[in-house]
């Protein structure tokens, strides 16, 4: 098959996805809305996700009344999972605000998310039990810390308080990788001995702004990104040497220069101070190269289950042409390639396309091609050239897809669409649109990618209806 993509470079260049899912049945919980909180009410007990933080924030207590027999039977279904009481484990939850469900134990969090998805998508069919984690702690393989000084002039590192620019000092986070947290503490201690000041954006003084750590959970490789306000890094070689003596698992150190007055962590310019400038990790049997700016899912355990579910729903036989829209570094497409005839990945970010091509070469996958283009425009072009795609995988950002992209999908008319969503509200909006264009929802599978937060991923399978009467004219 030839693809009309004039002027766009492509590579003609897959791995069975592990099919193990941990579906959990949830009990009956009623969702309601208050003026600031979306609350969960269960037998007159008020469990509320935390929003905002710090002084002046209203924080209802999780008062637990006696359970009914029905609730006791329901709770039995969660015994294979850890019951985590975050109030007893996290010393920062009153100030940080990063985890909105800190006042719920883990089974209750799953119930909340299950019912959230059911409430938003119940008009499209039954929602499968949410896929939860057996151990919902320390799952983040990417950790970012901001650096500053406190009122006494001492260097601090941590996270920005929710909806503010104030830094909450954090040494250990219950959802972050423990090795990454230890490296950040070491860097903070090294600053004093090397006489390096954290950057103060108001005074425009100092050097270190942020530290970004990425770790491959399967390979153990660690990348450290030092975000500085200036390209001049005094004694940088000795600094890197001292850091690696403490943490020999670090395989590369990158200096990223961000001199702007901005809320963005990373700037455009980079210098490799040690190693190759990237790490590698293994997901679903494929090896992926991860650079400082690459998008890579932050929870590898649940990502494997998420992608396995998505590829399983597509029911690939080995003959299909698959389009991976929003393909990023090629994760879904490369994993699906062993089950498809050919795969086309489309991504607008050139750096991501470059990584995707490298990943295809590294895995010796030859039935996949990547294009740097807008996925919507690309699909319209394929349709105009009467080129066929059997399955479209789409994994849009939290804002969801726009109407133009969904219309492009309808123009291309694939037999199946697998929508991987990180926001059930925008998913509900997009499903309303695409089901008016001749598609029907066949399967809905929520996945808990971010325990202790209010976020939930959902995989939806849509199939093309064969008659024009199902298409609603806008």
Percent of the chain at pLDDT above 70? 80
Q: Is 372 noted as a catalytic residue in this protein?
A: no
Question: What was the pLDDT predicted at 389?
Answer: 94
- The catalytic position among 96, 99, 286, 422 is 422
37 pLDDT higher than 50:
no
Question: Is the pLDDT higher at 199 or at 141?
Answer: 141
Domain made up of 142-283: CATH architecture: Beta Barrel (2.40)
Residue 257 confidence (pLDDT) above 90: yes
142-283 and 299-470, same CATH topology: no
Would you state the pLDDT for residue 349?
87
Mean pLDDT throughout 119-136? 95
pLDDT beyond 70 at 186: yes
Are residues 71 and 27 in contact, defined by beta-carbon separation less than 8 angstroms? Answer: yes
Quickly state the pLDDT bin for 9 (edges 50, 70, 90): very low
Per domain, the residue ranges of the chain are 30-124, 142-283, 299-470
pLDDT at 238 over 60: yes
CATH architecture of 299-470: 3-Layer(aba) Sandwich (3.40)
CA diameter of the chain: 73
pLDDT tens for 61-91 read 334 334 444 344 334 333 334 555 544 568 8
Asked if the model's pLDDT at residue 48 lies above 70, the reply is no
Please give the pLDDT value at position 468: 52
pLDDT for the residue 351: 85
Q: Let me know: does 172 contact 178? Beta carbons within 8 Å.
A: yes
Chain mean pLDDT for the chain? 82
């Amino acid at each position: 098959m030839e693809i009309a993509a004039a002027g766009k470079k492509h590579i003609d260049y897959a791995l069975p996805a592990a099919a193990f899912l941990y579906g959990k049945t949830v009990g009956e919980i009623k969702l309601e809305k208050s003026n600031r909180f979306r609350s969960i009410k269960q037998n007159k007990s008020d469990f509320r996700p935390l929003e905002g933080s710090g002084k002046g924030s209203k924080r209802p207590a999780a008062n637990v009344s006696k359970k009914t027999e029905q609730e006791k039977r329901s709770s039995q279904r969660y015994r294979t999972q850890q019951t985590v009481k975050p109030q007893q484990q996290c010393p920062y939850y009153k100030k940080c605000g990063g985890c909105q469900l800190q006042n719920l134990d883990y089974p209750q969090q799953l119930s909340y998310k299950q019912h959230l998805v059911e409430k938003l998508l119940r008009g499209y069919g039954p929602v499968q039990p949410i896929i939860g984690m057996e151990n919902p702690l320390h799952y983040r393989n990417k950790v970012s810390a901001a650096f500053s000084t406190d009122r006494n002039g001492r260097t601090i590192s941590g996270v920005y308080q929710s909806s503010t620019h104030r830094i909450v000092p954090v040494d250990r986070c219950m959802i972050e990788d423990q090795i990454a947290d230890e490296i950040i503490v070491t860097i903070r201690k090294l600053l004093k001995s090397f006489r390096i000041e954290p950057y103060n954006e108001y005074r425009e003084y100092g050097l270190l702004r942020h530290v970004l750590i990425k770790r491959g959970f399967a390979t153990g490789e660690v990348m450290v990104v030092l975000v500085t306000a200036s390209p001049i890094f005094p004694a940088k070689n000795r600094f890197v040497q001292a850091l690696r003596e403490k943490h020999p698992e670090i395989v590369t150190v990158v200096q990223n220069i961000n001199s702007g007055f901005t809320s963005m962590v990373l700037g455009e310019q980079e210098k490799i101070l040690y190693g190759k400038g990237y790490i590698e990790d293994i997901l679903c049997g494929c090896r992926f190269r991860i650079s400082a700016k690459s998008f890579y899912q932050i929870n590898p355990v649940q990502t494997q289950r998420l992608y396995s579910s998505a590829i399983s729903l597509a029911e690939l036989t080995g003959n299909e042409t698959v389009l991976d829209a929003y393909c990023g570094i090629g994760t879904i497409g490369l994993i699906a390639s062993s089950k498809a005839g050919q795969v086309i990945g489309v991504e607008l970010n050139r750096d991501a396309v470059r990584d995707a091509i490298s990943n295809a070469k590294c895995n010796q996958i030859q039935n996949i091609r990547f294009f740097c283009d807008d996925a919507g425009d690309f699909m319209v072009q394929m349709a105009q050239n009467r080129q066929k795609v059997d399955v479209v995988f789409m994994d849009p950002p939290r804002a969801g897809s726009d109407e133009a992209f969904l219309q492009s999908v309808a123009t291309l008319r694939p037999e199946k669409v697998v929508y991987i969503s990180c926001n059930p509200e925008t998913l509900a909006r997009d499903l309303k649109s695409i089901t008016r264009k001749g598609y029907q929802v066949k399967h809905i599978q929520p996945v808990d990618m971010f325990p202790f937060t209010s976020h939930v991923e959902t995989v939806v399978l849509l199939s093309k209806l064969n008659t024009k009467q199902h298409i609603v004219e806008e």
